[in-house]
Amino acid sequence: MSAAMAGKPLAGQVALVTGASRGLGAALALELARRGAHCVLVARTQGGLEETDDAIRAEGGSATLLPFDLAGKEADKIDSFGPSLVERFGRLDILAHVAGALGSLTPVAHIQPRDWTQLVGVNMNATGG
C-alpha cells in the first residue's frame, strides 16, 4: 500500500511553517505532519515549539525545531533558511508563513514606534516582501 493510500499523501515532503508555536501555525504544522510531511517549525518561543513538536510526535510525525524571531535582531539572517534547508533536506516542498503579529488594539496614531516596527517586521518584511 502506498503512503498516499495509507492516509499519508505528503509522505517524504518537507514543510516549513512559521508561527508554529501556537494557534493556526501549530494547528497547520500538526495537520501537515499527520498527512506525512516532515515539518520544520519556526517561531520565537522554544517552549511553544517544543509543545508543537510533542503533539506532532504523539501523532507519529516528525519535526525539526528552528527558534527564530522573524522580526528580531537576526531578521537579516532569514535568507540563510533556503540554503540550510537544501543542505539538510535536499529541498522544501511546502512553505506556510503563518507567523503574524496583531499588536495592541488601539487607534493607529497611538501605536508606539517599537510596536509598529515589530508589526511591520513580522507581517510584511518576514514574508520576503
Strand partners, 40: 16, 64
pLDDT at 15 over 90: yes
Closest to 120 in 3D by CA, of 97, 96, 103, 98: 103
Higher pLDDT, 89 or 6: 89
Indicate if the pLDDT at residue 124 is higher than 90.
no
pTM for the complete prediction?
A: 0.82
- The residue-averaged pLDDT of 39-56 equals 96
Could you give the residue ranges of the DSSP H alpha helices within the chain? 23-34, 46-58, 81-89, 113-123
Q: Residues 79-107: what's their mean pLDDT?
A: 87
Q: Which comes out higher in pLDDT, residue 124 or 22?
A: 22
CA 68 → CA 49, 90, 108, distances in Å?
Answer: 10, 21, 27
C-alpha grid cell for residue 104?
Answer: 495592541
Higher pLDDT, 46 or 125: 46
- Mean of the pLDDT values across residues 32-61? 97
State residue 113's pLDDT score. 86
pLDDT at 93 over 60: yes
Judge residue 103's burial from the number of C-beta atoms within 10 Å of its C-beta, 0-12 exposed, 13-18 middle, 19 or more buried.
Answer: middle
Model pLDDT, residue 1: 55
